Amino acid sequence: MVHCTCMNTSIVEQKLVTMGLSLPILPGTPGIYKRCVQTGQYLYVSGHVSIAADGSYITGKVGYDMDIEAGKIAARQAGLAILTSVKQYAGSLDAVKRVIKLLGMVNCTPEFEKHPVVINGCSELYAQLWGEENGIGVRSAVGMSSLPANATVEIEALFELRES
């Protein structure tokens, strides 16, 4: 496990504060899985759904209950939920060297086709936090007929961590 011995808020967390964002409280999970698993310098992060700052789920279908902009906010919040788990695991968000891959799933109507635009809510956040070179990785974005707890978005991630 990578641990940061930083006494102060990390650089990445300072950027979040500047952006007016905060890491959400994660609710308990009914599933049997780990949120993070590290192998070598790679940190695999399980799917995280769209969570508001207070830990409540952001729910509904894009194209029915909400528009693309609301979907992008839900994707950003799923990205922040991922960062909560990364911080809990690694001790600091500064442990992340780069984003390798994202898989974004959008709870949407069958007719909705702009899944990548919705998942940009997370990708844009990570690009702002780590820059275009390290904050943008490979990505897939797909539509789903439902997601756990009727969440609007679920995203899983793969990060490369800094050597400790």
What is the DSSP track for the chain? ------SSPPHHHHHHHHTT--PPPPPP-SSSS-SEEEETTEEEEEEEE-B-TTSPBPB--BTTTB-HHHHHHHHHHHHHHHHHHHHHHHS-GGGEEEEEEEEEEEEB-TT---HHHHHHHHHHHHHHHHHHHHH--EEEEEEES--GGGBSEEEEEEEEEPP-
- Of 8-12, 68-72, 85-89, 148-152, least confident by mean pLDDT is 8-12
Does residue 6 sit within a domain? no
Does residue 38 sit within a domain? yes
Does residue 153 sit within a domain? yes
Assess whether pLDDT exceeds 50 at residue 3: no
Query: What pLDDT, on the 0 to 100 scale, is given for residue 5?
Result: 42
Query: What pLDDT, on the 0 to 100 scale, is given for residue 18?
Result: 96
- Report how many domains make up the chain: 1
Does residue 27 sit within a domain? no
Query: What pLDDT, on the 0 to 100 scale, is given for residue 8?
Result: 56
Does residue 86 sit within a domain? yes
Query: What pLDDT, on the 0 to 100 scale, is given for residue 94?
Result: 96
Mean pLDDT of 65-92: 97
Q: How high does pLDDT run on average in the chain?
A: 94
Does residue 4 sit within a domain? no
Note down the domain range covering 40. 33-159
Mean pLDDT of 82-97: 97
Does residue 164 sit within a domain? no
Assess whether pLDDT exceeds 70 at residue 144: yes
Query: What pLDDT, on the 0 to 100 scale, is given for residue 26?
Result: 92
Does residue 5 sit within a domain? no
Query: What pLDDT, on the 0 to 100 scale, is given for residue 100?
Result: 98
Query: What pLDDT, on the 0 to 100 scale, is given for residue 31?
Result: 86
What's the CATH code of the domain at 130? Answer: 3.30.1330.40
> What is the pTM assigned to this prediction?
0.93
